[in-house]
Structure 1
């Protein structure tokens, strides 16, 4: 089993389950895979949702120990609560994903498993499947997430949704959350790295909606723009450390991209300037603006790595800012915001186009009522509604920028009393 299952078992061994006596009889039968005993106990009136310590149910036991799917189905047929799990956040759907059991994942989804629940590490089942490279389960979970969102927001754009701790959170449904209906033919030489960092290890201000920005961008790439799921790396929050940037930008891409390939890079999160050099940095999950040169990932380093690729076309979209003046940027304590020129600050290769959320002396805003970064919202809306997507999945960047720029400027000025001017940067 994978690491998370091992961790659960270790914790259970020492803290929760010193002996099988702590389990219910039905739980013991379910974990052992004894379907006849399960049937007998159910016929004799056993409570299918009776819990042992930590809220462990027979269904949880069956999925945790990868019991035959017939036992899982039998428990569900007899009223097992598909969404009941341990008090720390683990649900049966997480366990099935972690076990790599796509059949059980589908069964749980069909029986109403809520795919929005996060495990104790803040991961939804979809994020777990993305990180594990489980393409089949990824499709199942993406479809389930879309269906549940549609059902949730069928009557209203804002609804109360249960959170892990039993409270509720407001989730916005935006008109750009569903990818366009057009489906480009899969381009097996198209590769993408999508990064969304909303929460940071150093307790930096949150980059609101950044993770959602990235997840939606991935959906557009894989469902409308012809990028195969196995060719798209999505890095969210603590999966987007500096070492992850180095791994995927400098190793994974170079190992996969060939002559004629297309590369798409998207980043949503904080940027930061180096007050000593004026260089612009992306802030990874473990980045510290006080030591940005050591813990950040500079734009120049990213552009250099991308420039070495033999790709036909490279597009970089940055929903971030780098002045340190606020918005989606951070700054070392005691330093002053900088005026940066993203147009001339770093040389880029001839095959690369960069579209950035704002100018170097501006901040990048969030579009709260839409639940996305302001720039990202119109980036997605442009792809969806403005006929800028070619049949092969490529983008007409001039047309897309011509739509994004005035829209972002208008909303920033009208709603936030702020100047935000997107930038389109190409090789000189």
Structure 2
């Protein structure tokens, strides 16, 4: 109520002080646009106070609704935010109710949230006067709705209760509508975020499933490849040596005895070594039947038998496991190759290349040197391979010729014996009828038939291998190092 009395007093004083006005403020109050132009042209101060000391020419023109005069003053540089005693030009315009002029003031920089001397903003005056169109215009231009509602609720301007209620009745529904829109928008954003998260989760699940499916396909392909390698023998060819069985009384192997079995049939980039996979797998079954513990058997087949894998087993696994009383059994079935320049013999790993043997092959000399350093009771080496480069289980560098003579025989320690499939210049052959390499077949048959030592096995299989090789027009004679006479009673595999 005090605010209303203050406003009435302002205009009462303004009316009583007309005689104190300057020529410019008087002309603006009267709306004499020509006089205003003339006075401004003659140098009158556009912001000079007159009548009421704080009321500028712009405030007078708007208060008395002389909008053409007010536009002229704005065009000539009048400050659109200068307070006239209490009110700003924008509040005067809101009270006048001219939307077009309000828009002009805002366009020229009038602050929509600048309050009067009592803290009343243009929006509050528009709501108080129930000027709905102006309320929405001011809100559109950035008027602070929340401040206006709080100020009205606290009645900082000392309005009549009905005036306060009018202000709140105009503003609160708008606030409620805005809040509802904001809540709806937030809800929509939450739903959108939830959908996005769900899509990301679904994508992750899909990617994981694709990865798992890829692994499954990879495993199936690998298993199929293995099955294809074995299907001829397992489904068609049955041999009399395929199922090893030894009584406890026939076993001599102890807990510390070790076996390394390597078989490579399908090479990474070389022709197959027929039946080497099956031969090695069956030898693995035999050593288990002979009493070797599964934990002491290393079986490397095809793609597992890389150069690095072979070196790791021979150079690290064996020395770490070996004990002074251990018997060591080493079997290899696969390609061998000679180095053309030196005549040195190499085992060809799964990833080996006969053109680069020094880098990709495993030297037979290195095998024997490592085995010789083992502090063990006995080492038995069985080689179903050949190293002449003349064919069979042997390969040769491109452009090289098979060697007529191999490097001189290795001098082996007394605790090592080597039984090989061939003599130096021969080739190791296989039997499609038996589904095995000829040498490995008769080696295992000798064990099954009761031959106990390497020397006994050699004497048993030598004529049998030679005869079967001759039947297919091949020369193949097993060899043993050292001489059989020196091995009598030693290097036993069974009782």
State the TM-score, normalized to the length of structure 2. 0.52
1:193 alignment counterpart: 260
1:355 alignment counterpart: 419
Matched, 1:388 2:451: yes
The Cα of 1:340 is off from its aligned counterpart by 3.6
Contact 1:241 1:286 in 2 (8 A): yes
Q: Deviations along 1:63-98, whole A, 9 cap, x unmatched?
A: x9xxxxxxxxxxxxxxxxxxxxx66663xxxxxxxx
Matched, 1:404 2:452: no
Other structure's SS at 2:236 match? strand
Question: 2: distance between equivalents of 1:167 and 1:221?
Answer: 24
Contact 1:279 1:345 in 2 (8 A): no
Contact 2:346 2:363 in 1 (8 A): yes
Contact 2:388 2:406 in 1 (8 A): no
Matched, 1:295 2:370: no
Question: 1: distance between equivalents of 2:457 and 2:247?
Answer: 17
The Cα of 1:328 is off from its aligned counterpart by 0.2
Kindly report the root-mean-square deviation, in angstroms, between the aligned alpha carbons of the 2 structures: 3.0
1:307 alignment counterpart: 372
Alpha carbons of 1:88 and 1:299: their partners in 2 closer, same or farther (altered >3 Å)?
closer
Question: 2: distance between equivalents of 1:167 and 1:380?
Answer: 20
Contact 1:318 1:356 in 2 (8 A): yes
Question: 2: distance between equivalents of 1:11 and 1:244?
Answer: 36
Other structure's SS at 2:442 match? helix
Which structure has greater strand proportion?
1
The Cα of 1:345 is off from its aligned counterpart by 2.8
Question: 1: distance between equivalents of 2:204 and 2:482?
Answer: 53
Other structure's SS at 2:261 match? strand
The Cα of 1:169 is off from its aligned counterpart by 8.6
The equivalences for 1:137-176 within 5 A come to: 171-176=236-241
Question: 2: distance between equivalents of 1:179 and 1:292?
Answer: 36
Q: Highest Rg: 1 or 2?
A: 2
Question: 1: distance between equivalents of 2:232 and 2:335?
Answer: 29
Question: 1: distance between equivalents of 2:232 and 2:458?
Answer: 41
Residue ranges of structure 1 left out of the alignment (5+ in a row): 1-9, 19-52, 57-63, 65-85, 91-116, 125-162, 390-395
State the TM-score, normalized to the length of structure 1. 0.60
Contact 1:192 1:265 in 2 (8 A): yes
Alpha carbons of 1:211 and 1:169: their partners in 2 closer, same or farther (altered >3 Å)?
closer
Number of equivalenced pairs = 279
1:211 alignment counterpart: 277
Which structure has greater helix proportion?
2
Matched, 1:371 2:435: yes
The Cα of 1:384 is off from its aligned counterpart by 0.3
Other structure's SS at 1:370 match? coil
The Cα of 1:17 is off from its aligned counterpart by 5.0
Contact 2:344 2:406 in 1 (8 A): no
Residue ranges of structure 2 left out of the alignment (5+ in a row): 1-202, 487-495
Contact 1:194 1:265 in 2 (8 A): yes
Question: 2: distance between equivalents of 1:168 and 1:185?
Answer: 30
The Cα of 1:307 is off from its aligned counterpart by 0.3
Other structure's SS at 2:318 match? helix
2:223 alignment counterpart: 119
Which residue of 239, 243, 264 corresponds with 1:178?
A: 243
Other structure's SS at 2:433 match? helix
The Cα of 1:11 is off from its aligned counterpart by 11
